[in-house]
Amino acid sequence: MSTGASGLLIFFLLVTTPPAIAHDDHHNPVPLPPPAFTCNAGVSNSFDVTGGVVNPQSFNLKALQAFRPPATVWDYFVTGKSANQGEFLGILLWDLLNYVGIHVNPAAKNDLDRKYVVVTGTDCYQAVFAMGELDPAIAGTNQITIAYAQWVKGKSIPLGSTGFARIIVPGDKKGARLVSNVAHIQVISVPAPTS
């Protein structure tokens, strides 16, 4: 490679490489997303809650069981040509998000409505929930739940190969948003419109 070509390559990399710190339109630093985790598809034993939250943290089975009272939800959905059903024990996703605190900008009208939640499993399967469908003051009637046990013949049993936690969406007709082996929950804001 000639000296001129290598200089051109260095210039190209300098011009096209994004900055290490992102900024919004007003040049305020914007937090970068958390580092990606490996999609090992293994059984989960904890998950983290990050993004637009006040107190990002990790949860394991013992931490979820400490929430009182636990939520009990009935789920029925179609998968292919069969149906799955069951009664599950856990915590409402809305309650967990309120526990860690959701960042809300009081200067932005209805800022909570501009947020959504991405739930990712250890196999990197993801489901997206609008904050409005979780918030009981708006539409949160489906009790989207982070389940950690299933009721079978009157006894609470662990979820086994689906990890210590999975997402249950009682209002969905199909199991497309059911995430097993929950590994990561992230709160994200829709970018503000530009004028």
Each residue's pLDDT tens digit, 42-97: 889 999 999 999 999 999 999 999 998 888 887 776 677 777 778 889 999 999 99
Name the DSSP class of 12.
Answer: H
pLDDT at 174 over 90: no
The pLDDT assigned to 167 comes to 92
What are the residue boundaries of the structural domains of the chain, listed by start?
A: 34-189
Arithmetic mean of pLDDT, 187-195: 84
pLDDT at 25 over 50: yes
**136 against 85, higher pLDDT:** 136
CB half-sphere exposure, 126, CA atoms < 13 A: 10
CA distance 157 to 173: 25
DSSP conformation letters of 95-148: HHHHHH-B---TTSTTGGGGEEEEEEETT--EEEEEHHHH-TTTT--S--EEEE
The pLDDT assigned to 163 comes to 84
pLDDT at 162 over 60: yes
Amino acid identity at 104 = V
Give me 146's structure tokens: 């982070």
The pLDDT assigned to 14 comes to 37
Amino acid identity at 48 = D
The pLDDT assigned to 155 comes to 87
CA distance 58 to 49: 6
* Average pLDDT over the chain, rounded to an integer: 80
Question: CA triplet 77, 79, 82: central angle to 5 degrees?
Answer: 90
CATH topology of domain 34-189: Sulfite Oxidase; Chain A, domain 2 (3.90.420)
